[in-house]
Structure 1
Amino acid sequence: MENAYATINNILVNLINEIWELEEKAIITEEFKDLTNNDMHVIEAIGLGDGNNMSSIAKKLNITVGSLTTAMNSLVNKKYVERRRSEEDRRVVFVKLTDRGVKAYRHHEDYHRQMTRAILDKLDEAEIPVLVKTLDALSEFFTGYSKNRSQ
Structure 2
Amino acid sequence: MTDSKKVINKILVELFKDILGIEAAALKNSEFGELTVTEFHIIESIGLDGGKTMSETALLAGVTIGTLTTSINRLIRKGAVQRKRDDNDRRVVLVSLTELGRNAYLHHEEFHQEMTNSVIEFLDTEDDGVLIQALSSLQEFFSRKAKEYGRK
Q: Which amino acid aligns with 2:5?
A: Y
Percent identity, please.
41
2:54 is the counterpart of 1:54: yes
Q: Specify the SS of the correspondent of 1:126.
A: helix
What residue in structure 2 maps to residue 40 of structure 1? 40
For residues 48-99 of structure 1, give each alpha carbon's deviation from its aligned partner in whole angstroms, at most 9, with x where no partner exists: 0242111111111111112111100110111000111111111111111111
Note the 1:72-151 alignment, pairs <5 A.
72-150=72-150
Which secondary structure state, in structure 2, belongs to the residue aligned with residue 102 of structure 1?
Answer: helix
Which residue in the other structure is 1:67 paired with? 67
Q: Give the stretch that moved more between structures: 141-150 or 113-122.
A: 141-150
Compare 127-136 and 108-117 and name the one that shifted more: 127-136
- Report the secondary structure of 2:35's partner residue: coil
Q: Post-superposition shift, 1:24? A: 0.3
**Unaligned stretches of 5+ in structure 2?**
none
Task: Report the Cα offset of residue 115 of structure 1.
Answer: 0.3
Number of residue pairs the alignment of both structures matches: 151
Note the C-alpha offset of 1:30.
Answer: 5.0
5+ unaligned residues in a row in structure 1: which ranges? Answer: none
Secondary structure at 1:31 match in 2? coil
Give the corresponding residue for 2:29.
29
Give the distance between the partners of 2:150 and 2:94, measured in 1 at CA: 27
Distance 1:57 1:27 in 2: 21
After superposition, the CA RMSD in angstroms is: 1.8
Whole-Å separation in 2 of the counterparts to 1:30 and 1:23: 11
Q: Paired residue for 1:9?
A: 9
TM-score, normalising length: structure 2:
0.91
Tell me the alpha carbon deviations over residues 93-146 of structure 1, each in whole angstroms, 9 at most, x when there is no partner.
Answer: 111111111111111111101100011122223211211111111112212222
Task: Specify the code of the residue in structure 2 equivalent to 1:62.
Answer: G
